[in-house]
Amino acid sequence: MEYTRLTDLRFFTACLDQTVPELGRLAPLAEEGRMDEAKRLFAAYVRRTLRPEHYLRGEKERLAPHAAEIAEASRRAMEHTFVSCRVPYTFGEVIDWTANPTYNNYCEWPWQLNRHPEWLAMAENYILTGDEAIPAEWSKQFMSWAAQAQVPENESGYATICWRTIEAGLRMKRWTYAIHAFLCAVDDEVLTVFCKSVWEHGWRLRNFCTSHNWLIMEMAGLCQIALFFPFLRESAEWLAYVHRRLEGEITAQVYPDGMQYELTPGYHQVCVGNYEDVADLIRLHGDEVPDYLLNGLEKMFSVYPKIAAPDFRTPAVNDSGWENAAQILKEALLYLPDHGEFRYFASDRAEGEPPSYRSILLEYSGMVIFRSSWECDALWAYMDASPFGKAHQHEDKLSVQLWAYGHELMPEAGTFDYDTSEMRRYVLSTRGHNTARVDGFDRPPSASTSGTPVRRLRPPTTRGTAREKSGCVTRESCSFSKTSPVCRPCLYPWTVLRERENTTAS
């Protein structure tokens, strides 16, 4: 039985590095129809070259404090109970990987199911317990997924339930972990089908990748494939492509002030985390992290001190919750250990030094931060003078958030599931934010919600200045250039009404 669209014959004859002597023997065997022998030799080669003892070094000790939680998640998965988007569902004997059991047919449920977080829990529990029932069950689940989820031949990266490229990229990290954990516990057929599907993932991520934060996740997944499965014929070209795209996206997606162009701290962190994953993979394989990666990470990490509230969390703006800047900058020290500002945050003010500025305008991303000091009881305010971001935007122009004396005084609605509910409409709307409405009306949805690209920004030619006075921060000289898309006043409803009145009168 062929579980994947990629046939055994094509895999052994066209998808492997034939310059490797052990792999060069497989094509003749496949062409002669001796598939079982080809699979046996191929599986032996993979088991010899993956090196789980290197990849999983220290994992048992790292996982031990979380053993009970991991065991519970693994038990649920073994019993076919899966939790997606906080909604659990128990399948019967057969798992339908395209099912959607939510009451409102929430599209994210099957998509996130196909990111396979349960397989990570099963692998972690196997590392802790050695229970052979776990890889046996995982093999059944994997083979059922491979049979049901056929890679599309010519579909957009945004299309299908099981093969959107965001899922393809994200699950590669979990798949790689799982196959290292289960390597010696699965049979030759499962291992061969797994590697065939990995090749299909590489092909789809290389040829149908998308843009925005998705692209960074896609390239991180393709990097997993290229580095851990170098015996795939295209792996070297895939790796070169990863570096070319990731380097280019630092210029394309990251503004000079360090913010990713969706202007959403949570998705900024998605990009940071996936760039970190690529750097970690390169180090794991004994290579030097390229300068573009280290410089890009430093640039993106630099946003967190600029925008962090007194409790060292980032403002929850657009489709983002609060992000823990202190924890993020603790990770930054793994790449930039001598960075004093990052150490100040990572150590909760005990080490390093605070930034030399207090209040700041991010001139390209339009985030305005006022603060009286770097202490935890500081006065702090955030104001949105941003352009409409590339994605995940809210109608929150000129909205304000406030902190004082250790308390958040003016939060906003935050974000909500990506559905069509009234709550989703509320968090997107003007009334969900601390900003102006006119005669009870929200700002009309911006034209950019249609996906029209936002042009590259220029900083204002005349900056506002922040002055500290009497322990407070005041705003002066707000004479921004009218040509600046960052600080240019938005077209308010009353302006539209006045223009309509003038037109009617004439």
Give, for all 506 residues of the chain, the pLDDT tens digit.
Answer: 899 999 999 999 999 999 999 999 999 999 999 999 999 999 999 999 999 999 999 999 999 999 999 999 999 999 999 999 999 999 999 999 999 999 999 999 999 999 999 999 999 999 999 999 999 999 999 999 999 999 999 999 999 999 999 999 999 999 999 999 999 999 999 999 999 999 999 999 999 999 999 999 999 999 999 999 999 999 999 999 999 999 999 999 999 999 999 999 999 999 999 999 999 999 999 999 999 999 999 999 999 999 999 999 999 999 998 899 999 999 999 999 999 999 999 999 999 999 999 999 999 999 999 999 999 999 999 999 988 889 999 998 899 999 999 999 998 888 999 999 999 999 999 999 999 998 889 888 764 443 333 444 444 433 333 333 333 333 322 222 223 333 323 322 223 323 333 333 43
Residue 303 to residues 163, 234, 365: CA-CA distances in angstroms? 33, 36, 10
Q: What is the dihedral of CA 401, 402, 406, 411, to 10 degrees?
A: -40
List the chain domain ranges.
8-226, 360-447+461-505
Amino acid symbol at 171:
R
- What topology is assigned to 360-447+461-505 in CATH? Beta-galactosidase; Chain A, domain 5 (2.70.98)
* pLDDT value for 443: 84
The runs of H, that is alpha helices, within 130-211 are 133-148, 165-182, 188-207
- Residue 410 contacts residue 397 (beta carbons within 8 Å): no
Dihedral pair phi/psi, residue 465, rounded to 5° = -115, 145
* pLDDT value for 446: 67
- Residue 106 contacts residue 417 (beta carbons within 8 Å): yes
Cα–Cα distance measured from residue 92 to residue 485, given in angstroms and rounded to the nearest whole number: 55
Q: Is 351 left (phi over 0), alpha (psi -120 to 50) or beta?
A: beta
* pLDDT value for 58: 97
Residue 163 CA, chain-centre distance (Å), reads 17
Amino acid symbol at 78:
M
Determine how β-strand 87-90 pairs with β-strand 81-84.
antiparallel
The residues with which 402 forms a beta bridge, in sequence order, are 381, 410
Q: In what order do the strands lie in the sheet with 407-410?
A: 360-361, 367-371, 380-384, 400-404, 407-410
Cα–Cα distance measured from residue 503 to residue 363, given in angstroms and rounded to the nearest whole number: 36
HEC string of 208-271 equals CCCCHHHHHHHHHHHHHHHHHCCCECCHHHHHHHHHHHHHHHHHHHECCCCCECCCCHHHHHHH
* pLDDT value for 20: 97
Q: At what angle do helices 165-182 and 117-129 cross, to 10 degrees?
A: 10
The residues with which 87 forms a beta bridge, in sequence order, are 84
Cα–Cα distance measured from residue 297 to residue 342, given in angstroms and rounded to the nearest whole number: 12
- Residue 257 contacts residue 458 (beta carbons within 8 Å): no
Q: Is 489 left (phi over 0), alpha (psi -120 to 50) or beta?
A: beta
Q: Is the pTM of this model over 0.85?
A: yes
Biggest CA–CA distance in the chain, Å, is 87
Amino acid symbol at 393:
Q
Could you tell me which of 381, 426, 92, 49 has the C-alpha nearest to residue 230?
Answer: 49
The runs of H, that is alpha helices, within 230-264 are 235-253
Cα–Cα distance measured from residue 434 to residue 425, given in angstroms and rounded to the nearest whole number: 16
- What topology is assigned to 8-226 in CATH? Glycosyltransferase (1.50.10)
Q: What is the dihedral of CA 243, 247, 252, 256, to 10 degrees?
A: 160
Q: How many CB atoms lie within 10 A of CB 503?
A: 8
